[in-house]
Amino acid sequence: MTTHRVADILLGHIRNSWTHISDRIVGLDALERLDLAELRRLAADTGMTPAELEAALRADGRVAGMLEAMLIAHGLDAKRLSAEQPAAMRALEVSCSNCHMTGRCMHELKVGTAAENAEHFCPNADTLSALADRAAL
Residue spans per domain, the chain: 3-136
pLDDT at 18 over 50: no
Q: Which pTM does this prediction carry?
A: 0.63
Using an 8 Å Cβ cutoff, are 68 and 17 in contact? no
d(CA 28, CA 117): 34
> At 26, is the pLDDT very low, low, confident or very high (cuts 50, 70, 90)?
low
d(CA 65, CA 43): 23
Q: Where are the alpha helices (DSSP H) in the chain?
A: 3-33, 36-46, 50-58, 61-73, 78-84, 86-97, 102-111, 114-117, 125-136
* Residue 39 burial by Cβ neighbours in a 10 Å radius (0-12, 13-18, 19+): middle
pLDDT at 13 over 60: no
Mean pLDDT computed over 98-104: 87
pLDDT at 23 over 70: no
Q: Residue 65's closest CA among 83, 78, 51, 82?
A: 78
